[in-house]
Amino acid sequence: MDLFNRLASIDTLLLGWEKVRGNAGGPGADGVTIERFAQDLLPWMETFPEELREGRYHPHPLLQVRMARPGKKDRLLSIPTVRDRVVQSAANQLIVPILEKEFADESWGYRRGRSTQMALAEVARLRDEGFRWVVDADISAFFDEVDHPALFARLARYLPDPRLLALIRLWVAGVVKTVEGVYRRIERGIPQGSPISPVLANLYLDDFDEAILDENLRLVRFADDFLILCRDREQAEDALALTSETLDALDLRLNQAKTRITHFDEGFRFLGVNFLREQLSPANPAARGLQAPAPGYAFRGAGRRLEPLAPEPAPVEEMAVLEIESAIVSVDEATPPLLRTLYLNEQGLSLSREGQRLLVGHRDQVLLEVPIHTLNQVVVNGNASLTTGALRLCQENHIGVGFLRMNGECWGMLEAFDGHAVELRLAQYRRTEDAEFRLATARAMVVAKIANSRLLLNRYLRRHPLPEAEFRLAELLDLGHRAESATGLEMLRGFEGAAARVYFGAFQDWLGEPWGFTGRQRQPPPDPVNALLSYGYAVLFNNLHHLIRLRGLDPHLGFLHAARDGHPALVSDLMEEFRSLVVDAVVLHLLFAGQVGTEDFSPDGEEGAGWRMSEAFKKKFIHALEAKLNSRLAHPSGGVLDYRRILRHQVHALARAIEGAEPGYRGFTPK
């Protein structure tokens, strides 16, 4: 089905209605409120699709309203009627996913999963990386000056549907009823206040983004408000000249009175926040809205983003999660985790879609309704039925879906044909053929893994002594040093294997009977301890796989692990540094604290098929893993991050090394 006919479907129009109803807002030029429109929704839905297909639909005039802005000139908004907002919002459901793939990461405004806070954090990150000269630019009356032919030429590149393009043209070049009561046609510009306008604005400025980024400049753009951050004044002057030249080509102009080259030591204002040296403060503390970093937020880490400050890790029993049967999803919106996860553990659950919500059901009963915007990933453990509607909603919203077998083995991930970051992937492929880069990267991963294994072992040996404890620690230290000087991958893997035998040898001595642990064995797990480790590693695997895909790297091509069909080698690579810090730490804590017993496990069916956890304990284990992933620790760069954000930091650090933006990859070890 083409885009226009998809727009004319009741399902798509209902999505548009849900969006408009959720946003509330006032009536348009016809005076019809959302409440009044809702009364006639069903008969309208019966007749409107045919009206749209037959070309009988024409937008109502836009209603111009004045929006006061503290300390600034009033802004004029052009508001469509409720009916037209519904149709535009429905169109957004179709065109935004297509256009989003084309937009640069440096564009932060009016995009799902991005915010003013994130743009401010990116400015602070670049400042801390040494980009302290700033082109503080302002486009003169951007929304009023967008050239319609140029806009639609760009739109036609990605939407080869003449009927849909014609419809969008009706919305953009419509009639507006001004605040003076005069009707006039829009000959130029994009009407601020229309649901379709934000994505069109980002599309129009995408060529500008690409021109700036092609010169390897650092850009932070939020709609028409942007900064270019540079290392010295000369680079800033060149960037300003390029900016003026590029905007001229778009038939846009810089506001010379508001455009300047400045420095963090001199200070500047961006998105309602004053930047001065290392300090940030709201330009107008009394103004409403998200302007400055709010209480409970802080900049963290190198490559840092503005993230919510997490509370001290709560005991497992007190974690802020909503649990119905085996469906678990974090709901603490005051301090949300980086990857909010819905776990489907109970066998026979179903996952379906209703509008912008996922419904978890069992037989004919709905157990849980989850708004899609509250999720980042879904983990399906065992047998569950997922409708195509649910899967499509997840893919449209970049929600990762991972599938685990009952023993914890990850057997598949659902991926969309997103196709983003192609240049990064090409660079990744070239780097895997670069023997020197590959060895250096793998070496950094193994050295960090051995150091972190030694750290965890040392921590537990102090409380649970073993014979020859000092010898074990010294042996790991020596293997770490030898890994640092490894001259080949096989030699490096040999040191890694030797370190694992020393490390898990301590586990064997600690646990012994009744657990029957004789060493690390993967699938099937021959004892309850291995079952815990395998399941925990699968949860860690899913988190990393999702973060790697979001960054645009190919999860199947790594540096330490050899490439083979069906194995996401890069995920295994990046897991190595975190196995002991996240999963092994949780497993040892549960075992030594007596929070798990042999009665929580049973043989998995046939002889030799391994062991599995009880459903009740699996929930408890997931809670413990989530608590660990959301716990915070000092980062070597000076910030405080939870483990998921550290995982993301490492993924981004590897991407920067692959692109040549950093001299090499550095493994993570706690301060």
Q: Write the DSSP string, 361-387.
A: EETTEEEEEEEGGG-SEEEEESSEEE-
The model's pLDDT over 148-194, given as tens digits with 9 standing for 90+, comes to 999 999 999 888 889 999 999 999 999 999 888 889 999 999 999 89
Q: What is the pLDDT of residue 334?
A: 34
CB distance 645 to 307 below 8 Å: yes
**pLDDT for 508-519, tens place per residue?**
999 877 788 888
Residue 522 · residue 391 · CB < 8 Å: no
Dist. CA 114–CA 101, nearest whole Å: 14
CA 346/CA 368 separation, integer angstroms: 13
pLDDT reported for residue 372: 79
Structure tokens at 100: 């989003």
pLDDT grade, residue 294 (50/70/90)? very low
Please give the average per-residue pLDDT across 59-72, as a whole number. Answer: 82
What is the torsion angle, in degrees rounded to the nearest 10, for the CA atoms of residue 666, residue 569, residue 338 and residue 356?
Answer: 150
For 571-615, how does the pLDDT look when each residue is reduced to its tens digit (9 = 90+)? 999 999 999 999 999 999 999 988 998 888 888 655 455 788 888
- Mean pLDDT score of the chain: 84
Instruction: Tell me the pLDDT tens digit for each residue of 188-211.
Output: 999 998 999 999 999 999 999 999
**Bigger pLDDT: 630 or 308?**
630
Q: pLDDT at residue 73 above 80?
A: no
pLDDT of 543 reads: 87
Q: What is the pLDDT of residues 439-486, one digit of tens each?
A: 999 999 999 999 999 999 999 998 899 988 889 999 999 999 999 999
Whole-angstrom distance, CA of residue 315 vs CA of residue 304: 28
**Rg (the chain; Cα; Å):** 28
* 318 — pLDDT class (breaks 50, 70, 90): very low
- The reported pLDDT for the residue numbered 350 is 86
Distance, in Å, from the CA atom of 515 to the CA atom of 530, rounded to the nearest integer, reads 10
Encode pLDDT of 331-365 as tens digits. Answer: 333 334 566 778 787 777 888 888 888 888 877 77
| Sequence-distant (≥ 6) Cβ neighbours of residue 156 within 8 angstroms | 165
CA dist 483 → 238, 446, 488, 495, 640 (Å): 45, 7, 10, 6, 29
